[in-house]
Amino acid sequence: MTAIDLEYSAIVTKRFGIANVPVLSVSKERSVRIAVCELNDSRPVPDPVRVVSPQDAYLVSLHLSDETAHRYWERGRELGTFQIQKGQAVLEDLRRLPQSLFLRPFHVVQFYVPRAALDAVAAEVNSPPVGDLQFEPGAGSFDAKVMNLGMSLLAELREPALSHGLFVDHVGIAMASHVAQRYGLLSPLSQRLRGRLAPWQERRAKDFFDAHLDGRVSVEDIARECSLSVSHFSRAFRKSTGKTPYGWLTKRRIELAKEKLHDRGRTIAQIALECGFADQSHFTRTFSREIGSSPGLWRRCLAA
């Protein structure tokens, strides 16, 4: 389990007294993770369940049973008793040290969404970081997207060993995006610069290119990394960078070749292969077209 999974598992254990709850971890970005679990307990909880220490994260709970008398506190102050219906969503801000008293058995699918995940969503659409989410503390509301996304993970939660990681990732990312837009008042995704890659997609594509300069790489591979079709990726990449994917790759390979040409211990044929060109002839033709001189002449000019 990752650190975020362990942290969330500790919250579940301390709040509900339920140990060893299977937790699915969702990757938003390399350093940002979301977690989700199913809580289903037939025992009424005799005491308020609470968060021990504040965290910059939210809980989004899809209730799969009615809660006719849900008492709720924040920072030690009781805010009221709420009736939560099956299918409603309840949000909690973990910075406010929420406490709940369930007077009957409960059944929820719960997402742990760090603020960093919401800010990552905002960055993808060139928006400022998401501020405080707007919701009524302790109250439930019908939210079709929370319900559909939560229900779609039930099978995965009940058989985590058979869970499909890519599907879970997509659902978790969709949940973070929805929460940021509906409750964080984030501008709709349609306001992204039309036709361009999102910032994270452009970064990932360029990183992928740089990691494969000396070997074979296909547009299909990079489009898959960006979760786009080949045609969509190719159009968006050109609009974002001013170059086709092949043109960008060629540019980066030429830049690498120019660095290697300083090393006179390497032959031009070796440099051609190290930089991903088919052979010396291919390298010479491409280098001459892009730079205006052959690799050999460019190297000789370095010593002049």
Residues 250 and 209 sit within 8 Å (Cβ to Cβ): no
Residue predicted with more confidence, 14 or 202: 202
Winning range, highest mean pLDDT, from 143-152, 186-195, 203-212:
143-152
Q: Residue 294 carries which side chain, given as an amino acid letter?
A: S
Q: Is the pLDDT of residue 175 over 70?
A: yes
pLDDT score, position 163: 66
Strand, coil or helix: what is 286?
helix
Over the chain, what is the mean pLDDT?
Answer: 83
Residues 49 and 100 sit within 8 Å (Cβ to Cβ): yes
Q: Is the pLDDT of residue 3 over 60?
A: no
Q: Which of 33-47, 70-84, 206-220, 247-261 has the lowest average pLDDT?
A: 33-47
Q: Which residues pair with 142 in a beta bridge?
A: 88
Residue predicted with more confidence, 228 or 19: 228
CA-CA-CA-CA torsion for 283, 285, 287, 292, nearest 10 degrees?
Answer: 160
Q: Is the pLDDT of residue 190 over 60?
A: no
For residues 152-177, average pLDDT: 81
For residues 211-219, average pLDDT: 80
CATH of 3-189, one of 2.30.40.10, 3.40.50.1000, 2.60.120.280, 3.30.1280.10: 2.60.120.280
Residue predicted with more confidence, 294 or 50: 294
Instruction: Indicate the domain borders of the chain.
Output: 3-189, 199-303
**What's the whole-model pTM score?**
0.61
The answer to whether 3-189 and 199-303 have equal CATH topology is: no
Residue predicted with more confidence, 248 or 25: 248
Residue predicted with more confidence, 62 or 22: 62
CATH of 199-303, one of 1.20.120.530, 3.40.47.10, 3.60.20.10, 1.10.10.60: 1.10.10.60
Strand intervals (E) in the chain: 23-29, 32-41, 49-50, 57-63, 67-74, 77-84, 88-93, 98-102, 106-114, 141-142
Strand, coil or helix: what is 34?
strand
